[in-house]
């Protein structure tokens, strides 16, 4: 953890909404004027404040991910005459004095096609291009904390993790059954989730809420052979579903019509309470098979 962290932003703080997101004008590239000058002055001041006189270029990129704005990369990627050895000098670990580091920052602000992270390890780091730089700090399996910002009509839950919007797909919300994401989370709620992947191309980060919860399914496997009573939750052709736990988000099992102990004239409806035996618990496929006929055996 760095001893000091500074944030330089091109946004007017007055333009931020209640969640901290910019709601005002958002320039795509440097203005080549006051904003650019202010960013460079801030970096120089932070370097002086920490006593850093040189920085190392890390993960240098030419084109590709290094491109942030709307304009095409310029000749030489904005690095002309910066390195005595030409572009060969722009390599991982290259040490540059602060003055040269500021010119690299200027090239990145102007979206010239070059990008790198500048750092003095343990003391000072400069990122240009928030989203991509932020994604580079994430790792699969990392546990992050964020705030639920919205729940889409198609069920995806969006979460703010440090200013970046990540997403949780329906299956990753809970190990247990639920009807709608709002049964699990609510807008404004702070949650802890695991990073499943980092898509650098589409700038997407899928999260899993259930990954940081204990998986109850291994326990379900131990219920094999038990006789339980529960309500019918769904009736479909050739099968019905029965909730086998006395809780709203209880697990449900499937009873094929061949395992129903019903007379031909009997009709099973949702809400009917039936007694069934757990005859199979397929943990990998997350399926529970039940039998009403075998419940009395």
Phi-psi domain of 64 (left: phi exceeds 0; alpha: psi -120 through 50; beta: other): left
H-helix or E-strand containing 107? helix 98-109
CB 190 within 8 A of CB 146: yes
**Among 79, 73, 109, CA closest to 91:** 79
pLDDT at 100: 93
Q: Which domains occur in the chain, in start order?
A: 13-135 (no CATH), 143-212 (2.40.50.140), 217-296 (2.40.50.140)
pLDDT by 10-residue block (mean), the chain, 297 residues: 59 56 59 81 90 90 53 66 80 92 88 82 76 74 94 88 89 93 94 91 86 93 93 92 92 92 75 94 93 87
Radius of gyration of the chain (CA): 28
Q: What is the pTM of this model?
A: 0.57
Residue 94 and residue 54: Cα distance in Å, rounded? 10
H-helix or E-strand containing 236? strand 227-236
160 contacts: CB under 8 Å, gap ≥ 6: 19, 20, 21, 146, 147, 149, 166
DSSP codes, 186-203: -TT-EEEEEE---BTTTT
Residue 212 and residue 143: Cα distance in Å, rounded? 8
Q: Which two tokens stand for residue 215?
A: 């998986």
CB 282 within 8 A of CB 238: no
pLDDT at 35: 78
pLDDT at 66: 42
31 contacts: CB under 8 Å, gap ≥ 6: none
Helix, strand counts (H, E) of the chain: 4, 14
pLDDT at 69: 44
């Amino acid at each position: 953890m760095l001893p000091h962290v500074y944030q330089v932003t091109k946004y007017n703080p007055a333009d931020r909404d209640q969640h901290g997101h910019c709601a005002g004008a958002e320039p795509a590239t440097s203005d080549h004027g006051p904003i650019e000058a202010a960013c460079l002055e801030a970096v120089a001041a932070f370097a002086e404040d920490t006593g850093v006189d040189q920085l190392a270029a890390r993960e240098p990129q030419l084109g590709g991910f290094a491109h942030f704005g709307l304009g095409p990369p310029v000749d030489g990627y904005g690095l002309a005459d910066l390195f005595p050895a030409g572009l060969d000098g722009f390599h991982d670990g290259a040490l540059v004095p602060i003055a040269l580091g500021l010119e690299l920052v200027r090239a990145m602000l102007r979206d010239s096609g070059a990008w790198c992270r500048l750092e003095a390890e343990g003391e000072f780091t400069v990122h240009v291009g928030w989203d991509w730089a932020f994604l580079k700090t994430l790792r699969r399996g990392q546990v992050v904390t964020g705030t639920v910002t919205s729940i889409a009509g198609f069920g995806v839950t969006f979460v703010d993790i440090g200013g970046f919007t990540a997403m949780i797909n329906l299956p990753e919300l809970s190990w247990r059954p639920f009807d709608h994401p709002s049964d699990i989370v609510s807008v404004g709620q702070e949650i802890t989730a695991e990073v499943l992947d980092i898509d650098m191309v589409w700038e997407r980060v899928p999260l899993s809420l259930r990954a940081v919860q204990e998986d109850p399914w291994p326990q379900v496997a131990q219920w094999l052979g038990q006789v339980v009573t529960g309500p019918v939750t769904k009736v479909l052709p050739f099968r019905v579903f029965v909730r086998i736990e006395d809780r709203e988000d209880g697990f449900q099992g499937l009873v094929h019509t061949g395992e129903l102990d019903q007379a031909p004239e009997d009709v099973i409806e949702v809400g009917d309470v039936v007694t069934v035996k757990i005859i199979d618990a397929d943990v990998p496929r997350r399926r529970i098979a039940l039998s009403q006929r075998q419940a009395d055996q």
